Amino acid sequence: MLVLESACLGSFLSLDLLLFFLFFEVTLVPAYFVIGGWGYERRGPAALKFFLYTFLGSAFLLVGIVSVAFIHDRQTGQLTFNLLALSAHGGFRGGVGILLFLAFTAAFAVKAPVFPFHTWSPEAYSQSPTGGVMVIAGVMAKLGSYGIIRFDFDLFPQATVRLAPLLLTLAVASILYGAVVACRQRDLKRMVAYSSLSHLGFIVLGFFALTQQGLDGAVLEMTNHGLYTAALFLLIGMVYVRRKTFRTGELNGLQRSMPILAGVFTVAMLAAIGLPGLNGFVGEFLILIGTFATHRWWAVAATTGVVFAAIYLLWAYQRAFHGQPSEENAKAKDLSWREGAVLAPLLILIVAIGIYPRPLLDRITPSVVAIVHHVEASTSYVAPSVTTTGRVAALGGKG
């Protein structure tokens, strides 16, 4: 777990493309052993599928990184892997820029994951141990979305603008596919896994809206998703310790024997739905506002994902926590004070960001503005000025 944490931190901090790739790949090794060594019944196939999918995606990234460095060397006489030097050059245009963009994005889309590169994630998430899935889904998966905004936007601004409709379509497909399949799940952990796919679609949607509000919301949603998804996986793991099952049909009536756990689950669930006052609402609201300004019909289609989220999460909660408990469920113990102490930081952040997100947005916005200006300076694209009522200002935005 410490090696996985260190590799994630190294990936987020690296400005050298080779160093980033090294840390990006190192995350696979501890994650593989966490799933394969401490997972559930099908942990072996799930760990192998996770490793093969992400390793194959990373092969495209390595080819892209080497190509970027040698193209820059041929054009300038300087061989470097430094992101700042490469992005300042701006020589990756036309068909070459599009191919390089696709190579980088293939790796990031697998890691995130984004439809249709997601098929490793339901198995990996459902078979991982509780601590492992919290880090893999809540932190490691963000390397994919981080890579898109950090490297694709900096190195290939022209390709980003030209291929934005394609990525927006994949984002909406992720939102709707993840939500619809989550509605069909009778396993709590798999339901949250497909829910995670749907919410990551919102992040990609905000990126390729190419507006300040959309990018603000997407970066904020990266943080928010990590918080409420980790809380949901942790709570589901606590239920499994007590009942040895994830099946909602076997968990009826838990609210009577575990009222505190049920209440905490409700807060995390409502944050995932996007209830105003909790952190999930803020990011999704800004994403949809920013997307509606430039790509109206994609935003309208994505909004249906919010409706589906309410359906599958409330339905799962009703099946697992309401009704008449069985004899085993009636004897289940409620949260201990130690478990509550573990959950408390997540709940505090979920509520605090939902009520007052401005401290985070004030730190996100300068970087987002710099990215938008870089794209505008490198292309003929001009980001529209999104005018809203005081709602965005109240949320801490600058629109």
**Tokens describing residue 347:** 């709940």
Name the β-bridge partners of 187. Answer: 247
Looking at residue 12, what is its pLDDT? 93
| First-to-last C-alpha distance (Å) of the chain | 40
Domain extent listing, the chain:
1-162, 169-399
Give the C-alpha distances (Å, rounded to integers) separating 78 from 22, 81, 92. 22, 10, 15
Closest C-alpha among 262, 256, 240, 282 to residue 397:
282
Give the residue ranges of the chain where pLDDT is below 50: 387-399
- Angle formed at CA 234 by CA 231 and CA 237, multiple of 5 degrees: 150
**Tokens describing residue 269:** 């669930």
Closest C-alpha among 213, 177, 169, 332 to residue 262:
332
Say which amino acid occupies 39: G
Name the β-bridge partners of 247. Answer: 187
Q: How many CB atoms lie within 10 A of CB 239?
A: 23
- Residues ≥6 apart with Cβ < 8 Å to 204: 112, 114, 145, 148, 167, 168, 170, 171, 174, 218
Say which amino acid occupies 378: S
Buried-state track 139-171, b at ≥16 Cβ within 10 A, e below 16: bbbbbbbbbbbbbbbbbbbbbbbbbbeebbbbb
Looking at residue 394, what is its pLDDT? 38
Which DSSP letter does residue 152 get? I
Looking at residue 383, what is its pLDDT? 64
What is d(CA 251, CA 328) in angstroms, rounded to the nearest whole number?
A: 9
Q: What is the pLDDT of residues 146-183, one digit of tens each?
A: 999 999 999 998 899 999 999 999 999 999 999 999 98
